């Protein structure tokens, strides 16, 4: 197969982790006789510095034409500490999600056999966890009306959802559940928020189309607790943009490190693959960041092109690196810490 992939390294550790995912993907392509053409493009603070905006039109062109997008990370402390900055790197990511129509963010949570004891949570609670948080990505409070009033002394952000936005996400959730554990949990705050009541109403109306899926409804505050208390109780969770953002960081604790969690963002056309972690500016340029979340995001990419063996080869080599202790400092615990690039080289060779 021939794949044209847009490569958006972004900021901070983005370029370093992306390099490793490219190495590993190229090794897989070679082994299974595929051809990958990578087209790099600018985004984030790097793009602001070069052309004044975080998701330039040229970058959008590259993404829209590609078969898929592999993305590193976005964000720079220079902007975090300046709330008045008009142009921010994160706007690039949001604009990209919106312009590419990436409404469904798939964030799987699973455990790695060799890391179960690295999690701060007890082994018996988390071992065997296998759930997906399907986060709505182009609506809600991230994209609702916002502003300031009263000479800047009042600020507001609105959570707006339209029925079709909920329905298309829920449909993906139902379809995923059918192929997995056949359970779907709609996570909201319907005891308080009108937008959440529309979520419930919409999902309830769809239940009869999927008689084989067991549907439940839970409040997000309760899920924040249950998710780490008994993650094995969940199969597919569907939830609004902001709730999903928060719950997926929390869920990463189950697998042992933020540096391990991949994701995909799906729409109707081109899909995007990215680690769920941020740009980790403190580590930028030091060759110490964990590249596995990005490498595993590449595995999700292969899987979505129906290249299952290829995806499995990546997952297997990642498991092997963890089992053999070929890991970066976030996971090395006193034993030898490998560099980001060394982990990438090792994975590529062992593919
Ligand atoms: C994520 C990130 C982004 C988000 C930021 C960087 C805009 O936290 O992908 O989870 O909030 O969606
Ligand atoms: Mn986040």
Cα 245 to averaged position of ligand 1 atoms, centre (Å): 7
pLDDT at 189: 98
List all residues whose CB is within 6 A of at least one atom of ligand 1: 74-75, 90, 93, 245, 276, 278
CB contact at 8 A, 220 and 187 = yes
Q: Is 249 a catalytic residue?
A: yes
pLDDT computed for residue 118 by the predictor: 82
What is the token pair recorded at 6? Answer: 């847009």
- In this predicted model, what pLDDT tens digit does every residue of 217-242 receive, in sequence order? 999 999 999 999 999 999 999 999 99
Q: Is 161 a catalytic residue?
A: no
User: Which residues, by Cβ under 5 Å, contact ligand 2, an ion?
Assistant: 245
> Which pairs with CB-CB distance under 8 Å and at least 24 residues apart come from 59-65?
59/6, 59/8, 59/96, 60/96, 60/99, 60/100, 62/6, 63/6, 63/8, 63/96, 63/100, 63/270, 63/272, 64/99, 64/100, 64/269, 64/270, 65/4, 65/6
- Give me the catalytic one of 26, 49, 249, 287: 249
What is the pLDDT at residue 44? 96
Assess contact for 17 and 57: CB atoms under 8 A: no
Catalytic residue status for 345: no
Residue 84 confidence (pLDDT) above 90: no
SS3 annotation, 184-228: EEEEECCCCCHHHHHHHHHHHHHHHHCCCCEEEEEEHHHHHHHHH
Please write the tens of the pLDDT for every residue from 245-280. Answer: 999 999 999 988 888 999 999 998 999 999 999 999
Output the residue whose Cα is nearest ligand 1's atom 5.
90
Mean pLDDT in residue range 184-194: 98
For residue 94, the ligand 1 atom closest to its alpha carbon is 7
Domain ranges of the chain: 1-102+267-351, 103-261
Q: What is the pLDDT of residue 257?
A: 82
Asked whether the predicted pLDDT for residue 113 surpasses 90, the reply is no
Considering the chain, what is the average pLDDT of its residues? Answer: 96
pLDDT at 333: 87
Give the CATH fold of the 1-102+267-351 domain.
Isopropylmalate Dehydrogenase (3.40.718)
What is the residue with the minimal CA distance to atom 4 of ligand 1? 245
Instruction: Compare 149 and 83 and report the one with higher pLDDT.
Output: 149
Quick check: 337 pLDDT over 90? yes
Active site residue 221: yes
pLDDT in tens, 12-68: 999 999 999 999 999 999 999 999 999 999 999 999 999 999 999 999 999 999 999
Asked whether the domain spanning 103-261 has the same topology as the one spanning 1-102+267-351, the reply is: yes
Ligand 1 centroid distance, CA of 143 (Å): 13
Distance 31 CA to ligand 1 centre (A): 34
User: Residue 215 pLDDT more than 90?
Assistant: yes
Predicted TM-score (pTM) of the model is 0.95
- pLDDT recorded at residue 81: 82
Q: What separation in Å is there between the alpha carbon of 89 and the centre of ligand 2? A: 14
Provide the annotated binding site for Mg(2+). Answer: 221, 245, 249
Whether 119 shows a pLDDT value over 90: the answer reads: no
Q: Which ligand is nearest to the CA of 73?
A: 1
- Which-ligand-closest: CA of 45? 1
The answer to whether 242 and 135 are in contact (CB under 8 A) is no
Nearest residue CA, atom 6 of ligand 1?
90
Q: Which CATH superfamily is domain 103-261 in?
A: Isopropylmalate Dehydrogenase (3.40.718.10)
Rounded (to 5) percent helix, strand, coil in the chain: 50, 20, 30
């Amino acid at each position: 197969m021939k794949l044209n992939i847009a490569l958006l390294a972004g900021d901070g550790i983005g370029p370093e982790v992306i390099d490793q995912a490219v190495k590993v993907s190229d090794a897989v392509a070679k082994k299974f006789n595929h051809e990958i053409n990578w087209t790099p493009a600018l985004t984030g603070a790097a793009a602001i510095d070069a052309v004044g905006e975080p998701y330039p039109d040229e970058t959008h062109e590259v993404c829209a034409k590609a078969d898929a997008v592999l993305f590193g990370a976005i964000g720079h402390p220079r902007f975090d500490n300046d709330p008045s900055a008009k142009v921010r790197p994160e706007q690039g990511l949001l604009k990209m999600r919106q312009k590419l129509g990436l409404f469904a963010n798939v964030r799987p949570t699973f455990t790695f056999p060799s890391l179960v004891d690295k999690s701060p949570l007890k082994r018996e609670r988390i071992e065997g966890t296998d759930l997906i948080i399907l986060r709505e990505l182009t609506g809600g409070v991230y994209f609702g009306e916002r502003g300031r009033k009263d000479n800047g002394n009042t600020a507001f952000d609105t959570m707006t959802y339209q029925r079709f936005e909920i329905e298309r996400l829920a449909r993906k959730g139902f379809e995923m559940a059918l192929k997995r554990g056949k359970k779907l949990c709609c996570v909201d705050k319907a005891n308080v928020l009108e937008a959440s009541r529309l979520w419930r109403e919409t999902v309830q109306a769809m239940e009869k189309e999927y008689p084989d899926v067991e549907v439940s409804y839970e409040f997000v505050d309760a899920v924040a607790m249950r998710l780490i208390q008994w993650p094995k109780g969940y199969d597919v969770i569907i939830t609004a943009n902001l709730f999903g953002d928060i719950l997926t960081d929390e869920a990463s604790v189950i697998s042992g490190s933020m540096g391990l969690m991949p994701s995909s963002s799906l729409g109707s056309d081109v899909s995007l693959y990215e680690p769920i972690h941020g740009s980790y500016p403190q580590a930028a340029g030091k060759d110490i960041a964990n590249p596995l979340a990005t490498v595993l995001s590449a595995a999700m990419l292969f899987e979505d092109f129906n290249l299952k063996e290829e995806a499995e080869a990546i997952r297997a080599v990642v498991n092997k690196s963890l089992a053999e202790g070929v890991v970066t400092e976030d996971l090395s615990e006193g034993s030898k810490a490998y560099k980001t690039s060394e982990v990438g080289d090792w994975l590529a060779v062992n593919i």
